[in-house]
Chains A and B, each alone.
Chain A
Amino acid sequence: MTAAVPGPAIEVRGLRKSYGSQVVLDSIDLTVPAGTVFSLLGPNGAGKTTTVRILSTLIAADAGEIRVAGHDLSREPNAVRAAIGVTGQFSAVDNKLTGEENLILMADLRHLGKREGRRRAAELLDRLDLADSARKIAFTYSGGMRRRLDLAMTLVGDPRVIFLDEPTTGLDPRSRRTMWQIVRDLVSGGVTIFLTTQQLEEADRLADRIAVLDGGKLVAEGTPQELKRLVPGGHVRLRLADREALDKAARALERDGARAAGDPAVARDDEAMTLQVPTEAGVHSLRALLGRLEQESVEVDDLEVHTPDLDDVFLALTGPRAGESGATR
Chain B
Amino acid sequence: MSFPALAVVDSATMLRRQLRHMIRYPSLTVMIVGMPVVFLLLFVYVFGGTLGAGLGAADGRSAYLEYVVPGILMMTVAGGAQGTAISVAMDMTEGVIARFRTMAISRASVLTGHVVGSVFQTMLSIAVVLGVALLLGFRPSAGPEAWAAALGLLVLTTVAITWLSVAFGLVTDSVETASNIPMFLMLLPFLGSGFVPTTSMPAGIRWFAENQPFTPIMETIRGLLMGTPIGDSGIEAVAWCVAIALLSFLWARRLYERNPVR
Residue numbers of A with Cβ under 8 A of B are 53, 56-59, 78-79, 81-82, 84, 86, 88, 90-97, 101, 105, 108-111, 137, 153, 157
Contact = CB atoms under 8 A, between A and B. Distances in A.
Given A53-B260, A153-B99, 12 more contacts: A56-B102, A58-B101, A58-B261, A78-B104, A81-B103, A86-B98, A86-B99, A86-B102, A88-B98, A108-B16, A110-B103, A157-B103
Chain A: interface secondary structure? loop
B261 A94 contact: no
B121 to A, nearest CB: 15
Contacts of B103: 81, 109-110, 157
Given A88-B95, A96-B24, A111-B1, A57 B17 contact: no
A90 B93 CA distance: 11
Secondary structure type dominating chain B contacts: helix
B9 interface: yes
Highest count of chain A CB atoms <10 Å: which of B9, B95, B98, B260: B95
A96 B20 CA distance: 8
Interface of B: 1, 6, 9-10, 13, 16-17, 20-21, 24-25, 94-96, 98-105, 260-261
A108 B94 CA distance: 19
A88 B24 CA distance: 26
A92 B20 contact: no
Contacts of A58: 98, 101-102, 260-261
A97 B17 contact: yes
A108 B95 contact: no
B95 A82 contact: no
Closest 10 CB pairs of A and B: A92-B95, A92-B99, A81-B104, A82-B104, A108-B13, A94-B96, A56-B102, A90-B95, A78-B104, A86-B102
B86 to A, nearest CB: 14
Contacts of B16: 108
B96 A57 contact: no
Nearest to A101: B20
Central interface residue in A81, A101, A105, A137, by most chain B CB within 10 Å: A105
Given A88-B95, A101-B20, A109 B10 contact: yes
B25 A96 contact: yes
